[in-house]
Amino acid sequence: MSESRAPSTAVPPATSDQRSVVKAAGIIGIGTFASRILGFIRDMVMAGLFGATAAADAFYVAFRVPSLLRELFAEGSMSAAFIPVFTEYHQEKTKREAWELASAVFTTLLTIVTGTVLVGIAVTPVIVWYLAPGFHDNPAKLTLAIVLSRVMFPYLLFISLAALAMGILNSLRAFAAPAFSPLFLNVFMIGCALFLSPHLPEPIVGVAIGVVAGGAAQFAMQLPGLARRGFLFGWRFDPGHPGVRRIGRLMVPSLLGLSVTQINLTVSTILASFYVGGPTYLFYGMRLIQFPLGIFGVALATAILPTLSAQAARGAMDELRTTFGFGLRMILFIILPAMAGLILLRTPIVHLFFEHGTFTAQDTTETALAVLCYAVGLWAFGGVRIIVAAFYSMQDTTLPAISAAVAVAANILLSLVLMPMLGAAGLALATALAAMINGSILIVVLNRRLGGVEWGSVGRSSIRVVLACLPLIAICFWAASASLWTHPGEWIEKSVLLTVAIGGSVGGYLGVHVLLKSDELDVVWGMVRRKLGRVAGR
């Protein structure tokens, strides 16, 4: 009789977990959306002040160094390795033992990353030399990239500590402070670009200073939340702590596993340095891709990891399968229409946001081509985040690392093949194709490990999404074909047209889901209704 009751008792927790994931993803998504809006303003300021000049190329090459290391040591491997272990400690041990683990990890991380920063500053010329071989014939450009890299290296320390604080707060189901903390990076970069840069001999250095200040603010913003929950770090140098050793064992392979996109982007940056403006085109192209990916894909992956980890810790594999299937459906629900919209509206968006000051029409054309090549893999970028979260929740970082290594090799090979045909945009397409390869390997293995995924519900969801995208595609195609985009100026009219196109396409997409009685829309709308009901009842 106990076996016959098992299926019915598994449903309520799964439904509750789905609501928890959607609520957390909503909080993270709102924070990320605010950060992305500020990021667009930052990029518009940067494009207007520096365009696709040698200074901009040097900055974006230099920024790849802390960005890659951030993904390796901080937001990627740290969160993936720390959250499952900390969640297990928090659920199965005392609060004191969980605090001791957090403090031991903090002290160990602070020691290691401080050493890494000092060594990195010392060997920056070597790093930049290999990172930007296309700068070798331009000593001034190479020297500026070295200076900028050295200025920004301390950002790694602050963002690593911020990622640890985020891991603790997310494990405790506190998502607001970590979600809104990236706002400070954009605030400081914009502020320094506008008010500090004009007073410096090399203005772009002011933006690099803003990067470091913004990283420090991201860490500081999360400390009050840790203090309120009794998890403010203490000094506890104990690298032999069992939990620290487990996190270290999980973190080593995940250095490659979760950071595959950053590694591929770094490969692209190296090769793009041979093209004038190449690093800048790829940077702005990926910035547009990161808008929906960060707001929805990364937000959902961040929200779902603690839930998956808790389910894995108590051996609730049926619930884990249900939650994972739900995550895939939500990714398709959000990312596929975003992909279609970006592909069709790529040129109007780049033109409207970036083609000002020293950013030319040719720069718009090249950046829009990069957006197109990145966008075809948007579904893979988002899907990989969810799939990797499932592996990490089961404390398996080895298989994602192996798959990532295959993807990196594929990216290099595809880059060399596509560069002669598409230039810098070929590097973007290679990155997208490598993400597809990575996701395909991971989902095949995970499907076997979980004994199957809810492919029936995922398939039905995919059909609904494709049907709902039809009015979106029609509206976006109409807007992108308007002759207005060939006219100089007329920024207000262009802004209105793009706003109408985006609003109309979103309305048409959601309208079809209403007609089809979409489960995903029901979950999201149910959360919104409950939230509005609580607000109205106050």
Nearest to 262 by CA among 372, 366, 131: 131
Q: How far is CA 31 from CA 25, 36, 184, 226, 354, in A?
A: 10, 9, 11, 18, 23
Given pLDDT bands bounded at 50, 70 and 90, which one contains residue 522? confident
Print the SS3 string covering 193-244.
Answer: HHHHHHHCCCCHHHHHHHHHHHHHHHHHHHHHHHHHCCCCCCCCCCCCCHHH
Given pLDDT bands bounded at 50, 70 and 90, which one contains residue 470? very high
Given pLDDT bands bounded at 50, 70 and 90, which one contains residue 374? very high
Read off the pLDDT of residues 89-111 as tens digits, 9 standing for 90 and up: 888 888 888 888 889 989 988 99
Given pLDDT bands bounded at 50, 70 and 90, which one contains residue 538? low
C-beta of residue 338 within 8 angstroms of C-beta of residue 378: yes
Of 24-28, 238-242, 318-322, 492-496, which one has max mean pLDDT? 492-496
C-beta of residue 237 within 8 angstroms of C-beta of residue 100: no
- For residue 351, pLDDT over 80 is answered with yes
- For residue 256, pLDDT over 50 is answered with yes
The reported pLDDT for the residue numbered 370 is: 92
- For residue 130, pLDDT over 70 is answered with yes
The reported pLDDT for the residue numbered 148 is: 93
Nearest to 177 by CA among 212, 217, 209: 217
Between these two residues, 529 and 138, which has the higher pLDDT value? 138
Of 7-11, 41-45, 369-373, 383-387, which one has max mean pLDDT? 369-373
Read off the pTM: 0.68
State the angle between helix axes of 317-354 and 455-480 in degrees (0 to 180), rounded to the nearest 10.
10
Question: Measured in whole angstroms, how far is the alpha carbon of residue 164 from the centre of its chain?
Answer: 16
DSSP H/E element including 72: none
- Give the burial class of 122: count Cβ atoms within 10 A of its Cβ; 0-12 exposed, 13-18 middle, 19 or more buried: exposed
Q: How far is CA 139 from CA 7, 44, 54, 106, 136, in A?
A: 68, 28, 11, 40, 6
> Could you identify the residue written with the tokens 């740290």?
78
Q: How far apart are CA 239 and CA 104, in angstroms?
A: 7
The reported pLDDT for the residue numbered 322 is: 85
- For residue 71, pLDDT over 70 is answered with no
- For residue 441, pLDDT over 90 is answered with yes
- For residue 380, pLDDT over 70 is answered with yes
**Range in 251-260, 334-343, 439-448, 491-500 the model is least confident about:** 251-260
Q: How far apart are CA 482 and CA 220, in angstroms?
A: 47
Q: How far apart are CA 449 and CA 289, in angstroms?
A: 31
Q: CA angle, 326 as apex, 320 and 329 as ends, to 5°? A: 145
The reported pLDDT for the residue numbered 76 is: 57
Given pLDDT bands bounded at 50, 70 and 90, which one contains residue 466? very high
- For residue 267, pLDDT over 80 is answered with no
> Could you identify the residue written with the tokens 């659920």?
91
> Could you identify the residue written with the tokens 């990076």?
185
The reported pLDDT for the residue numbered 11 is: 35
**Range in 68-77, 116-125, 494-503 the model is least confident about:** 68-77
The reported pLDDT for the residue numbered 423 is: 85
Q: CA angle, 126 as apex, 125 and 131 as ends, to 5°? A: 95
The reported pLDDT for the residue numbered 52 is: 67
Provide the 10 A C-beta neighbour count for residue 152: 26
**Range in 248-252, 397-401, 503-507, 534-538 the model is least confident about:** 534-538
The reported pLDDT for the residue numbered 258 is: 54
- Give the burial class of 450: count Cβ atoms within 10 A of its Cβ; 0-12 exposed, 13-18 middle, 19 or more buried: middle
- Give the burial class of 429: count Cβ atoms within 10 A of its Cβ; 0-12 exposed, 13-18 middle, 19 or more buried: buried
Dihedral, CA of residue 242, residue 247, residue 252 and residue 258, to nearest 10: 170
Question: Measured in whole angstroms, how far is the alpha carbon of residue 309 from the centre of its chain?
Answer: 20
- Give the burial class of 405: count Cβ atoms within 10 A of its Cβ; 0-12 exposed, 13-18 middle, 19 or more buried: middle
Between these two residues, 462 and 30, which has the higher pLDDT value? 462
C-beta of residue 515 within 8 angstroms of C-beta of residue 481: no
Read off the pLDDT of residues 319-337 as tens digits, 9 standing for 90 and up: 888 888 888 888 889 899 9
Q: How far is CA 311 from CA 306, 317, 390, in A?
A: 9, 7, 10
Print the SS3 string covering 178-203.
Answer: HHHCCHHHHHHHHHHHHHHHHHCCCC
